Amino acid sequence: GENVEQHPSTLSVQEGDSAVIKCTYSDSASNYFPWYKQELGKGPQLIIDIRSNVGEKKDQRIAVTLNKTAKHFSLHITETQPEDSAVYFCAAGGNNRLAFGKGNQVVVIP
């Protein structure tokens, strides 16, 4: 089955700087790559996703890039704000099945 790995496990950034989280996946058949944000005590929420026919997608301060050849995709957060502090999960899959990474703790320092 699909195996998803995230790096780094923890990332601290100064407010206003950019944050980048990288994920690698193992199954070349995967065609859907979402990113979820989980705040303390809450369930994960989708923040952005990308499909395999697209290399990059942007939504305001958030962007995702996909490299299918290398089987990795990245989340980019620009102009970070304190409310961006959370755990971010990447996932990969298709056919209504997703495998999640272990999560990345992002801390934005005011």
CB of 42 to other proteins, least distance (A): 6
Amino acid at 101: G
CB of 18 to other proteins, least distance (A): 23
Ramachandran area for residue 47 (φ above 0: left; ψ -120 to 50: alpha; else beta): alpha
Element housing 92 (H / E): strand 86-94
CB of 100 to other proteins, least distance (A): 4
Q: Which is nearer to other proteins, 17 or 59 (CB)?
A: 59
Task: Tell me if 47 sits within 8 A of 58, measured CB to CB.
Answer: no
Binding site for other proteins (CB under 8 A): 4, 31-32, 34, 36, 41-46, 49, 51, 89, 91, 93-103
